[in-house]
Amino acid sequence: MVVRKKNNGTRSLVTAHDVAREAGVSQSAVSRAFTPGASVASGTRAKILAAAERLGYQPNLIARSLISGRSNIVGIGVGNLRNPFFAEALELFSHALERAGYRLLLFPIDLSTTLNAEIQEVLHYRLDALILLSATLTSALAAQCRRAQVPVILFNRRSDDPEVSSVVGNNIVGARTLAAFLHAGGHARIAIMGGIAGSSTSREREHGFLSYFEEHGLPKPIEERGDFQHDPATAATRRLLTRADRPDAIFCCNDHMAIAALNVARFEFGLEPGRDISIVGFDDVPIAAWPAFSLTTFAQPVATMVDRTIDIIRELRDEPERITHSVVEGTLVVRSSARSPRIG
Protein backbone atom coordinates (compact mmCIF):
# COMPACT_ATOMS: atom_id res chain seq x y z
CA MET A 1 0.00 0.00 0.00
CA VAL A 2 1.37 3.33 -0.93
CA VAL A 3 -0.84 5.92 0.59
CA ARG A 4 -2.19 6.21 4.06
CA LYS A 5 -4.43 8.76 5.64
CA LYS A 6 -3.09 10.95 8.34
CA ASN A 7 -5.14 12.13 11.30
CA ASN A 8 -5.58 15.58 9.89
CA GLY A 9 -7.04 14.24 6.69
CA THR A 10 -4.23 15.35 4.42
CA ARG A 11 -2.64 12.59 2.45
CA SER A 12 0.74 11.32 3.30
CA LEU A 13 3.37 9.47 1.41
CA VAL A 14 5.41 6.57 2.63
CA THR A 15 8.02 7.77 5.10
CA ALA A 16 11.38 6.44 6.16
CA HIS A 17 9.63 5.23 9.26
CA ASP A 18 7.31 2.98 7.30
CA VAL A 19 10.24 1.53 5.44
CA ALA A 20 12.08 0.96 8.70
CA ARG A 21 9.20 -1.07 10.07
CA GLU A 22 8.82 -3.01 6.85
CA ALA A 23 12.53 -3.82 6.76
CA GLY A 24 12.80 -4.41 10.47
CA VAL A 25 15.48 -1.78 11.02
CA SER A 26 15.63 1.65 12.59
CA GLN A 27 14.55 4.76 10.78
CA SER A 28 18.09 6.09 10.75
CA ALA A 29 19.24 2.98 8.95
CA VAL A 30 16.83 3.89 6.20
CA SER A 31 18.25 7.36 6.06
CA ARG A 32 21.75 5.94 5.76
CA ALA A 33 20.72 3.52 3.04
CA PHE A 34 19.80 6.52 0.95
CA THR A 35 22.88 8.54 1.83
CA PRO A 36 25.78 7.94 -0.55
CA GLY A 37 28.87 6.92 1.38
CA ALA A 38 27.15 6.22 4.69
CA SER A 39 28.15 3.17 6.67
CA VAL A 40 25.54 0.50 6.17
CA ALA A 41 26.16 -3.20 5.72
CA SER A 42 25.44 -4.07 2.13
CA GLY A 43 22.98 -6.72 3.25
CA THR A 44 21.07 -4.24 5.36
CA ARG A 45 21.09 -1.73 2.56
CA ALA A 46 19.70 -4.31 0.14
CA LYS A 47 16.99 -5.25 2.60
CA ILE A 48 16.06 -1.61 3.07
CA LEU A 49 16.08 -0.79 -0.61
CA ALA A 50 13.86 -3.78 -1.26
CA ALA A 51 11.39 -2.65 1.38
CA ALA A 52 11.48 0.88 -0.03
CA GLU A 53 10.83 -0.48 -3.49
CA ARG A 54 7.89 -2.51 -2.23
CA LEU A 55 6.35 0.47 -0.49
CA GLY A 56 7.21 2.99 -3.17
CA TYR A 57 9.30 5.09 -0.85
CA GLN A 58 11.43 8.04 -1.96
CA PRO A 59 13.12 10.43 0.45
CA ASN A 60 11.34 13.72 0.93
CA LEU A 61 13.72 16.33 -0.41
CA ILE A 62 12.01 19.14 1.43
CA ALA A 63 12.70 17.54 4.77
CA ARG A 64 16.24 16.88 3.67
CA SER A 65 16.92 20.49 2.83
CA LEU A 66 15.34 21.67 6.03
CA ILE A 67 17.95 19.75 7.93
CA SER A 68 20.94 20.24 5.69
CA GLY A 69 20.31 23.93 5.22
CA ARG A 70 21.03 23.46 1.53
CA SER A 71 18.30 23.01 -1.00
CA ASN A 72 20.25 21.98 -4.08
CA ILE A 73 18.08 24.51 -5.79
CA VAL A 74 19.42 27.36 -7.85
CA GLY A 75 17.14 30.28 -8.55
CA ILE A 76 17.21 31.83 -11.97
CA GLY A 77 15.56 35.10 -12.88
CA VAL A 78 14.88 35.68 -16.54
CA GLY A 79 13.45 38.64 -18.35
CA ASN A 80 12.48 38.28 -21.96
CA LEU A 81 12.52 34.72 -23.30
CA ARG A 82 11.55 36.01 -26.72
CA ASN A 83 15.10 37.20 -26.98
CA PRO A 84 16.74 34.06 -28.32
CA PHE A 85 19.92 34.82 -26.44
CA PHE A 86 18.14 34.24 -23.15
CA ALA A 87 16.13 31.32 -24.43
CA GLU A 88 19.37 29.65 -25.38
CA ALA A 89 21.07 30.56 -22.13
CA LEU A 90 18.16 29.15 -20.16
CA GLU A 91 18.17 25.99 -22.23
CA LEU A 92 21.88 25.54 -21.55
CA PHE A 93 21.49 26.35 -17.87
CA SER A 94 18.70 23.84 -17.43
CA HIS A 95 20.87 21.04 -18.78
CA ALA A 96 24.06 22.12 -17.09
CA LEU A 97 22.44 22.53 -13.69
CA GLU A 98 20.69 19.22 -14.08
CA ARG A 99 24.04 17.54 -14.72
CA ALA A 100 25.58 19.36 -11.78
CA GLY A 101 22.85 18.00 -9.54
CA TYR A 102 20.86 21.18 -9.03
CA ARG A 103 17.20 21.90 -9.46
CA LEU A 104 16.25 25.14 -11.08
CA LEU A 105 13.70 27.53 -9.66
CA LEU A 106 12.65 29.89 -12.40
CA PHE A 107 11.06 33.23 -11.87
CA PRO A 108 10.16 36.00 -14.24
CA ILE A 109 11.76 39.37 -14.01
CA ASP A 110 9.38 42.11 -14.83
CA LEU A 111 11.59 44.71 -16.38
CA SER A 112 9.22 47.49 -15.49
CA THR A 113 8.93 46.74 -11.79
CA THR A 114 11.60 46.84 -9.18
CA LEU A 115 12.54 43.17 -9.12
CA ASN A 116 12.25 43.54 -5.41
CA ALA A 117 9.07 41.63 -4.77
CA GLU A 118 9.96 38.65 -6.93
CA ILE A 119 13.34 38.19 -5.36
CA GLN A 120 12.01 38.68 -1.86
CA GLU A 121 9.71 35.73 -2.38
CA VAL A 122 12.24 33.45 -3.87
CA LEU A 123 15.02 34.12 -1.42
CA HIS A 124 13.42 32.10 1.30
CA TYR A 125 13.88 28.73 -0.27
CA ARG A 126 17.47 28.65 0.93
CA LEU A 127 18.69 28.73 -2.62
CA ASP A 128 22.23 27.57 -3.15
CA ALA A 129 22.63 30.42 -5.59
CA LEU A 130 20.66 32.96 -7.53
CA ILE A 131 21.47 33.57 -11.18
CA LEU A 132 20.12 36.74 -12.71
CA LEU A 133 19.87 36.95 -16.47
CA SER A 134 19.13 40.31 -17.95
CA ALA A 135 18.62 42.13 -14.72
CA THR A 136 20.32 44.92 -12.96
CA LEU A 137 20.82 44.50 -9.26
CA THR A 138 20.88 47.51 -7.03
CA SER A 139 23.16 47.60 -4.06
CA ALA A 140 20.19 47.56 -1.73
CA LEU A 141 18.87 44.38 -3.25
CA ALA A 142 22.29 42.81 -3.27
CA ALA A 143 22.51 43.51 0.43
CA GLN A 144 19.21 41.79 0.93
CA CYS A 145 20.45 38.67 -0.82
CA ARG A 146 23.56 38.69 1.30
CA ARG A 147 21.38 38.93 4.36
CA ALA A 148 19.40 35.93 3.23
CA GLN A 149 22.75 34.27 2.58
CA VAL A 150 21.95 33.61 -1.03
CA PRO A 151 24.93 34.22 -3.30
CA VAL A 152 23.98 36.08 -6.46
CA ILE A 153 25.62 35.71 -9.84
CA LEU A 154 24.79 38.17 -12.57
CA PHE A 155 24.84 36.70 -16.05
CA ASN A 156 25.54 39.05 -18.92
CA ARG A 157 25.39 41.99 -16.53
CA ARG A 158 27.46 43.58 -13.84
CA SER A 159 26.20 45.13 -10.67
CA ASP A 160 26.91 48.52 -9.23
CA ASP A 161 27.77 46.56 -6.14
CA PRO A 162 31.27 45.11 -6.50
CA GLU A 163 30.37 42.42 -4.00
CA VAL A 164 28.20 40.59 -6.52
CA SER A 165 29.71 37.95 -8.78
CA SER A 166 29.22 38.23 -12.49
CA VAL A 167 29.89 36.51 -15.78
CA VAL A 168 29.96 38.75 -18.81
CA GLY A 169 31.23 38.80 -22.35
CA ASN A 170 33.92 41.25 -23.31
CA ASN A 171 31.60 44.02 -24.39
CA ILE A 172 34.23 46.68 -24.80
CA VAL A 173 36.41 44.63 -27.10
CA GLY A 174 33.40 43.36 -29.01
CA ALA A 175 31.95 46.79 -29.59
CA ARG A 176 35.31 48.25 -30.59
CA THR A 177 35.87 45.38 -33.00
CA LEU A 178 32.54 46.10 -34.66
CA ALA A 179 33.32 49.82 -34.74
CA ALA A 180 36.62 49.14 -36.48
CA PHE A 181 34.90 46.77 -38.88
CA LEU A 182 32.30 49.33 -39.89
CA HIS A 183 34.86 52.08 -40.16
CA ALA A 184 37.13 49.99 -42.33
CA GLY A 185 34.11 49.15 -44.44
CA GLY A 186 34.05 52.77 -45.50
CA HIS A 187 30.83 53.82 -43.86
CA ALA A 188 30.26 57.51 -43.55
CA ARG A 189 27.22 57.98 -41.30
CA ILE A 190 27.21 55.40 -38.58
CA ALA A 191 24.48 54.91 -35.99
CA ILE A 192 24.30 52.99 -32.75
CA MET A 193 21.14 51.54 -31.27
CA GLY A 194 21.55 51.23 -27.52
CA GLY A 195 19.82 48.76 -25.24
CA ILE A 196 18.44 49.42 -21.80
CA ALA A 197 20.11 52.61 -20.66
CA GLY A 198 20.68 51.48 -17.10
CA SER A 199 22.28 48.15 -17.91
CA SER A 200 26.01 47.64 -17.71
CA THR A 201 25.86 45.59 -20.88
CA SER A 202 24.44 48.39 -22.92
CA ARG A 203 26.66 50.96 -21.29
CA GLU A 204 29.79 48.98 -22.04
CA ARG A 205 28.84 48.25 -25.63
CA GLU A 206 27.87 51.83 -26.27
CA HIS A 207 30.97 53.16 -24.62
CA GLY A 208 33.25 50.73 -26.42
CA PHE A 209 31.72 51.60 -29.75
CA LEU A 210 31.72 55.35 -29.28
CA SER A 211 35.21 55.43 -27.79
CA TYR A 212 36.62 53.98 -31.00
CA PHE A 213 35.31 56.85 -33.08
CA GLU A 214 36.32 59.42 -30.55
CA GLU A 215 39.86 58.12 -30.28
CA HIS A 216 40.25 58.15 -34.03
CA GLY A 217 38.90 61.64 -34.39
CA LEU A 218 35.92 60.43 -36.39
CA PRO A 219 32.42 61.90 -36.39
CA LYS A 220 30.29 60.87 -33.48
CA PRO A 221 27.73 58.17 -34.38
CA ILE A 222 24.02 58.94 -34.30
CA GLU A 223 22.47 57.55 -31.14
CA GLU A 224 19.16 55.78 -30.82
CA ARG A 225 17.76 53.38 -28.29
CA GLY A 226 15.85 50.10 -28.73
CA ASP A 227 15.79 48.82 -25.16
CA PHE A 228 17.05 45.38 -26.20
CA GLN A 229 13.51 44.55 -27.31
CA HIS A 230 11.85 43.87 -30.61
CA ASP A 231 9.20 46.53 -30.84
CA PRO A 232 11.20 49.46 -29.50
CA ALA A 233 14.02 48.42 -31.83
CA THR A 234 11.63 48.39 -34.76
CA ALA A 235 10.50 51.89 -33.91
CA ALA A 236 14.06 53.08 -33.42
CA THR A 237 15.04 51.72 -36.83
CA ARG A 238 12.19 53.60 -38.45
CA ARG A 239 13.34 56.81 -36.83
CA LEU A 240 16.87 56.24 -38.06
CA LEU A 241 15.92 55.39 -41.61
CA THR A 242 13.64 58.36 -42.07
CA ARG A 243 16.30 60.89 -41.07
CA ALA A 244 17.49 63.36 -43.64
CA ASP A 245 21.02 62.15 -42.96
CA ARG A 246 20.08 58.50 -43.06
CA PRO A 247 22.88 56.39 -41.64
CA ASP A 248 24.61 53.89 -43.90
CA ALA A 249 25.47 51.60 -41.01
CA ILE A 250 23.78 50.65 -37.73
CA PHE A 251 25.31 48.84 -34.81
CA CYS A 252 22.58 47.30 -32.69
CA CYS A 253 23.66 46.46 -29.16
CA ASN A 254 22.22 42.96 -29.45
CA ASP A 255 21.14 40.59 -32.22
CA HIS A 256 17.55 40.65 -31.12
CA MET A 257 17.37 44.34 -32.04
CA ALA A 258 19.56 43.86 -35.11
CA ILE A 259 17.12 41.36 -36.56
CA ALA A 260 14.24 43.75 -35.99
CA ALA A 261 16.31 46.42 -37.76
CA LEU A 262 17.03 44.07 -40.65
CA ASN A 263 13.33 43.42 -41.11
CA VAL A 264 12.48 47.10 -41.13
CA ALA A 265 15.29 48.02 -43.50
CA ARG A 266 14.47 45.34 -46.03
CA PHE A 267 10.70 45.18 -45.91
CA GLU A 268 9.67 48.70 -45.01
CA PHE A 269 12.40 50.70 -46.71
CA GLY A 270 13.44 48.30 -49.45
CA LEU A 271 17.06 48.53 -48.42
CA GLU A 272 19.14 45.43 -49.00
CA PRO A 273 21.36 44.86 -45.96
CA GLY A 274 25.00 44.52 -46.87
CA ARG A 275 24.50 46.58 -50.03
CA ASP A 276 22.28 49.59 -49.31
CA ILE A 277 22.85 49.60 -45.60
CA SER A 278 25.00 47.78 -43.11
CA ILE A 279 23.55 46.32 -39.93
CA VAL A 280 25.55 44.51 -37.27
CA GLY A 281 24.56 43.02 -33.95
CA PHE A 282 26.02 41.49 -30.81
CA ASP A 283 25.60 37.95 -29.37
CA ASP A 284 25.39 35.66 -32.39
CA VAL A 285 22.10 34.01 -31.56
CA PRO A 286 21.25 30.92 -33.60
CA ILE A 287 18.89 32.67 -36.00
CA ALA A 288 21.51 35.25 -36.86
CA ALA A 289 23.06 32.57 -39.06
CA TRP A 290 19.86 31.97 -41.02
CA PRO A 291 20.23 33.02 -44.64
CA ALA A 292 17.21 35.26 -44.24
CA PHE A 293 19.29 37.42 -41.92
CA SER A 294 22.92 36.45 -42.34
CA LEU A 295 23.84 38.87 -39.62
CA THR A 296 27.36 40.07 -39.06
CA THR A 297 27.82 40.13 -35.33
CA PHE A 298 30.14 39.69 -32.39
CA ALA A 299 29.66 36.24 -30.93
CA GLN A 300 29.31 35.74 -27.22
CA PRO A 301 30.15 32.16 -26.27
CA VAL A 302 27.01 31.45 -24.27
CA ALA A 303 27.95 27.86 -23.51
CA THR A 304 31.24 28.98 -22.02
CA MET A 305 29.51 31.68 -20.03
CA VAL A 306 27.06 29.14 -18.65
CA ASP A 307 29.87 26.77 -17.73
CA ARG A 308 31.74 29.54 -15.96
CA THR A 309 28.59 30.33 -13.98
CA ILE A 310 28.22 26.72 -12.90
CA ASP A 311 31.88 26.65 -11.89
CA ILE A 312 31.27 29.65 -9.68
CA ILE A 313 28.28 27.97 -8.07
CA ARG A 314 30.37 24.88 -7.39
CA GLU A 315 33.08 26.97 -5.75
CA LEU A 316 30.43 28.61 -3.63
CA ARG A 317 29.83 25.32 -1.88
CA ASP A 318 33.15 25.61 -0.09
CA GLU A 319 33.59 29.36 -0.06
CA PRO A 320 30.16 30.93 0.19
CA GLU A 321 31.57 34.43 0.50
CA ARG A 322 33.76 34.34 -2.56
CA ILE A 323 33.12 36.91 -5.27
CA THR A 324 34.16 36.13 -8.83
CA HIS A 325 34.09 38.35 -11.87
CA SER A 326 34.49 36.44 -15.07
CA VAL A 327 34.93 38.01 -18.48
CA VAL A 328 34.60 35.71 -21.45
CA GLU A 329 36.11 36.61 -24.80
CA GLY A 330 34.11 36.55 -28.03
CA THR A 331 34.81 36.64 -31.75
CA LEU A 332 33.74 38.63 -34.76
CA VAL A 333 31.46 36.67 -37.08
CA VAL A 334 31.36 38.16 -40.54
CA ARG A 335 28.32 37.38 -42.61
CA SER A 336 26.63 39.49 -45.23
CA SER A 337 24.41 42.02 -43.43
CA ALA A 338 27.17 44.60 -43.50
CA ARG A 339 29.58 45.72 -46.21
CA SER A 340 32.99 44.30 -45.48
CA PRO A 341 36.25 46.20 -45.83
CA ARG A 342 37.82 45.72 -49.25
CA ILE A 343 40.92 43.62 -49.05
CA GLY A 344 44.27 45.08 -50.08
Partner DNA sequence: ATGAAAGCGCTAACAT
Partner DNA sequence: ATGTTAGCGCTTTCAT
Which of DNA, a copy of itself, none does 78 bind, CB closer than 5 to 8 A by kind? a copy of itself
Instruction: Determine, following the binding rule CB under 8 A, whether residue 185 of this chain makes contact with a copy of itself.
Output: no
**Which residues, in sequence order, are CB contacts of 274 under 8 Å at separation 6+?**
294, 336, 337, 338, 339
How far is residue 153's CA from residue 133's CA, in Å, rounded to a whole number?
9
Largest CA distance in the chain: 87
Binding-site size for a copy of itself (CB under 8 A) equals 60
Only segment of 128-136, 215-223, 265-273, 301-309 that touches a copy of itself (CB under 8 A): 265-273
How far is residue 316's CA from residue 185's CA, in Å, rounded to a whole number?
46
Residue 227: DSSP 8-state: T
Number of Cβ within 10 Å of residue 91's Cβ equals 14
Only segment of 39-47, 79-87, 162-170, 322-330 that touches DNA (CB under 7 A): 39-47
Instruction: Determine, following the binding rule CB under 7 A, whether residue 318 of this chain makes contact with DNA.
Output: no
Mask for 9-28, x = binds DNA (CB under 7 A): ---xx-xxx------xxxxx
Instruction: Determine, following the binding rule CB under 8 A, whether residue 281 of this chain makes contact with a copy of itself.
Output: no
Helix or strand or coil: residue 231? helix
Q: Report the site for a copy of itself in 132-151 (rule: CB under 8 A).
A: 147-149
Only segment of 9-17, 180-188, 210-218, 247-255 that touches a copy of itself (CB under 8 A): 9-17
How far is residue 165's CA from residue 160's CA, in Å, rounded to a whole number?
11
From the CB of 222, what's the least distance to DNA, in Å?
55
Which of a copy of itself, DNA, none does 147 bind, CB closer than 5 to 8 A by kind? a copy of itself
Amino acid identity of 162?
P
Whole-Å CA distances, 109 to 78, 114, 152, 165:
5, 9, 15, 19
From the CB of 201, what's the least distance to a copy of itself, in Å?
20
Return the C-alpha torsion angle 4, 105, 108, 89, nearest 10: -140
- Of the candidates 267, 270, 275, 343, which one interacts with a copy of itself according to CB under 8 A? 267
Only segment of 69-77, 169-177, 212-220, 327-335 that touches a copy of itself (CB under 8 A): 69-77
Q: For residue 233, give the nearest of 276, 279, 272 by alpha carbon.
A: 279
Whole-Å CA distances, 289 to 15, 93, 207, 282:
53, 22, 26, 13
Torsion 70-156-162-124 (CA) sign: negative
Instruction: Determine, following the binding rule CB under 8 A, whether residue 122 of this chain makes contact with a copy of itself.
Output: yes
How far is residue 1's CA from residue 233's CA, in Å, rounded to a whole number?
60
Provide the binding-site residues for DNA, judged by CB under 7 A. Answer: 6, 8, 12-13, 15-17, 24-29, 31-32, 34-35, 39-41, 43-45, 57, 59-60, 63-64, 66-69
Provide the binding-site residues for a copy of itself, judged by CB under 8 A. Answer: 2-3, 10-13, 56, 58-63, 65-66, 69, 71, 73, 76, 78, 80-82, 84, 87-88, 90-91, 94-95, 98, 103-108, 110, 118, 120-126, 147-149, 262-263, 266-268, 286, 290-293, 320
